[in-house]
Structure 1
Amino acid sequence: MISKGGRQQLEKLADIIGDVFGVAASTGVVLFSSVDDLPEGSFIELPDQEDASNLAESGFIQTNRYSYMKYFINDEEYLWFFVGRSKIDSKKILELAVCAYDNKEDSDRRKTLDFFRSLMVNGVDSVSAVDMSHYGSMRASVSGYAVIVIVNEKKKNIVSVDSEAQIAILESIFPMGQGFYVVPVEMGKTAVVCPLHSGFTFDDAVNQASLIKDTVLSEVMMNVSVAVGMAADGIRALPAAYKTAERAEAVGSTFELNEKCFVYDKLGVHRLVYGLGAESCLAYMKEVFGTEFLSERFSKAKSNTKDELLVTIKLFLENNQNISETSRALYVHRNTLIYRIDKFNKITERDCTKFEDGMLIGVALLIMQYFVKMFPERLETDFN
């Protein structure tokens, strides 16, 4: 599909070239023509089998009637055609036309991506009302938007540079020709703006987002975390959708959730815990666990020592307080597991085998995980 800006560029090129000049789909349907006797929607004569083979191989041929050059727009094949001049001149003219068109397409693409980047990151006030109206009215069938955020894994405080291959993978999953926008936000972070309509719902966006992690890992050996924010009911709501996608990624990564895609609306208690301040965290943990238990746990956290007791209780709760399932998962004897549970109950004066205490402990464990990651300095000041 030729964009409005692309069509304007073709009109300028036609005025400069002056001869019969146009663009057709690979089927021969004329999409743009400089002459009235070859209107849009009519069919241009396609190369015969031999010429088509040569065109596929070299990208350019000249027949008795037309000169053809093969060109791709958003992965769709098009034929540029021209009448007149020698073979050498015709090829040069078409090459220059393609180059000029490419420059216009690249310029429009950069402008579009800059608009969405500024809108999502800096808000509505950062973009002009004219651009807002232009991009907001581009697709009348759009009922809303979904925003997907992709963040590259950090290693030793260094984030791998976004490669062209990684962007190309995302664009293959979310083609710009279908209305998607793959927007590089900053080093190590990319956003995908997905228009929602009857043929592509919010659930479809989540399903597509779930493909990203494995695809990027297999293709470019980069581990990424992927998140989807709240649905935006219009283009003005895109900043909120982006912010909630960022928050979903932060929540999922902080709690190390085993999901291919973190969906903001499905993060439940993890999302609630993520908003707590340090004092609220400390108060709840002390209420549930007591100071003795916390001091020992945080001492291990500071020294990066594996906390066997904490791992045991967490897995016990994840297995619905089932002794047999937990002992199998830990590869320990049933009696060893019971000993650890009894030890935990004695230190905390709780009974993790009971449903009510189990709920309190489960939330406290989430808060502890969050506290260690978000407030590491408090481990030194509060638990020396």
Structure 2
Amino acid sequence: MSVKLYQSLINQVKGIIDDEFGIMDDTGLIWACSNEKANGQNNPLAAEVMKAKEPFVVIDGQSFLKVYIKSKLEFIAFIKSQDKENYKYLSLISINAINLKNYYEEKYDKLNFLKGIIMDNILPGDITLRAKELHLANNVKRVVFLINTEKSKDIYTHEIIEGLFPSKNKDFVIVLDDENTVLIKELKQDFEQKEISKIAKIIIDTLSSELVKAKVGVGTVVDNIKDIGRSYKEAEMALLIGGIFDDDKQVNDYNKLGIGRLIYQLPTTSCTLFLNEVFKEGSFESLDQETMFTIQKFFENNLNVSETSRQLYIHRNTLVYRLDKIQKVTGLDLRMFDDAIIFKVAMLVKKYLDSDKRFM
């Protein structure tokens, strides 16, 4: 367990005990102390303490209590005085330290278990029994958020997420690597879908306030702990597909991938045949960036010429001229609904094929 946790306990107690006190190991190395400057130093009396048969011993004006779990020494609590009340103080410090240790070890075991589920490292038949041993509810609603961030030396994403969702027994934050963090969030039985979107937005906004660029993939809600792995894979897929078809989108929900999900599942050979069928050779590539931006705006405004020209700050006739030019190059009149659909799908197919080449 991190010595930071022991130090946190010591800091809470030092207002009660006047003398210097702390926790050290069997060599005398001080892990945590009311005088934090002493941390990392050695208590020279450790060897004598270890020789003593009794757990509680007073040596050279200092009181020591050796703490054992299953006959194994865990640590030595000490107070730099020989007051008769010291045994009580040391016992209370030790009990709290052990409880703290047990709590965080159980928490660590839970995180390892849940990580094993999402990484497919635990046999499905073992999940229910192990969950029971760890006191994890089996049949509650949960959803997985996969948070992808840029690498940062100064910002620890998991600490920010843990701060947002401090319920240690219901919500779990798992670090996969420097760029990916998983949040397994427990939901109420009568949850609404908009609550999930709200959680994803809170994550994005909070990380953004810390100057961390992030994207969030959201899996489907599952009601059995065995299905957490599926929700994770869906969140992973949502990030992947979202990155291909709408790279600017910060939150990608597996339930809202739209036509991108369909195209992603198509064989690349079929996609290539479709593009060759729709466009004459080189016609799509001949469309410059300004033309593609015009097309994008035209689609965003539901093929409305007047509204698109207004948003582009151009005359209506200028937009009509551009659309005529696109029709001449591609053979598709984007003012016609059927042609617009074909072009829109073709744009997405092209993005998919380009991404496939990128990952080859």
TM-score of the two chains, using structure 2 as the length reference:
0.70
Equivalent positions of 1:82-121 (< 5 A) are 86=84, 89-121=87-119
How big is the shift at 1:134?
Answer: 3.2
Deviations 1:313-334 (A, max 9, x none): 1221121111222223323333
How big is the shift at 1:112?
Answer: 0.9
Distance 1:325 1:287 in 2: 31
The aligned amino acid for 1:208 is: I
Secondary structure at 1:61's aligned position in 2? coil
In structure 2, do the counterparts of structure 1 residues 96 and 331 end up closer, same or farther at CA, with 3 Å as the change threshold?
Answer: farther
In structure 2, do the counterparts of structure 1 residues 162 and 367 end up closer, same or farther at CA, with 3 Å as the change threshold?
Answer: farther
The aligned amino acid for 1:336 is: T
> Please, which moves more after superposition, 230-239 or 342-351?
230-239
Q: 1:189 aligns with which of 173, 176, 180?
A: 180
Q: 1:60 aligns with which of 15, 25, 29?
A: 15
Distance 1:143 1:184 in 2: 23
| Residue 284 of structure 2 corresponds to residue 286 of structure 1 | no
Q: 1:207 aligns with which of 191, 198, 216?
A: 198
CA RMSD of aligned residues (A): 3.0
| Residue 112 of structure 2 corresponds to residue 122 of structure 1 | no
In structure 2, do the counterparts of structure 1 residues 204 and 87 end up closer, same or farther at CA, with 3 Å as the change threshold?
Answer: farther
Number of residue equivalences: 286
Tell me what 2:207 maps to: 216
Tell me what 2:130 maps to: 131
Tell me what 1:152 maps to: 149
Tell me what 1:227 maps to: 217
How big is the shift at 1:113?
Answer: 0.8
Distance 2:14 2:202 in 1: 34
Kept after mapping to 1: 8 A contact 2:146/2:182: yes
Distance 2:312 2:94 in 1: 67
Q: 1:314 aligns with which of 287, 292, 296?
A: 296
Q: Unpaired runs of 5+ in structure 1?
A: 1-54, 64-84, 154-158, 298-305, 379-384
Secondary structure at 2:282's aligned position in 1? helix
Equivalent positions of 1:1-384 (< 5 A) are 60-61=15-16, 86=84, 89-122=87-120, 124-125=122-123, 128-129=126-127, 130-135=129-134, 138-139=136-137, 142-153=139-150, 159-160=151-152, 163-164=155-156, 166-177=157-168, 179-198=170-189, 200=191, 203-219=194-210, 221-256=211-246, 259-296=249-286, 307-376=289-358
Distance 1:213 1:152 in 2: 10
How big is the shift at 1:222?
Answer: 0.8
Kept after mapping to 1: 8 A contact 2:214/2:250: no
Distance 1:373 1:110 in 2: 38
Distance 2:243 2:185 in 1: 23
In structure 2, do the counterparts of structure 1 residues 100 and 321 end up closer, same or farther at CA, with 3 Å as the change threshold?
Answer: same
Percent identity between matched residues is 28
Kept after mapping to 2: 8 A contact 1:60/1:91: no
Tell me what 1:28 maps to: none
How big is the shift at 1:357?
Answer: 0.9
Distance 2:107 2:140 in 1: 23
How big is the shift at 1:178?
Answer: 5.2
Distance 2:162 2:192 in 1: 18
The aligned amino acid for 2:152 is: S
> Please, which moves more after superposition, 257-266 or 209-218?
257-266
Distance 2:175 2:161 in 1: 11
Distance 2:184 2:223 in 1: 13
> Please, which moves more after superposition, 262-271 or 204-213?
204-213
Larger relative helix fraction: 1
Q: Unpaired runs of 5+ in structure 2?
A: 1-9, 19-82
Kept after mapping to 2: 8 A contact 1:151/1:224: yes
How big is the shift at 1:232?
Answer: 1.6
In structure 2, do the counterparts of structure 1 residues 160 and 354 end up closer, same or farther at CA, with 3 Å as the change threshold?
Answer: same
How big is the shift at 1:213?
Answer: 0.6
In structure 2, do the counterparts of structure 1 residues 87 and 253 end up closer, same or farther at CA, with 3 Å as the change threshold?
Answer: farther
Kept after mapping to 1: 8 A contact 2:207/2:213: yes
The aligned amino acid for 2:293 is: V
Distance 1:180 1:268 in 2: 29
Secondary structure at 2:232's aligned position in 1? helix
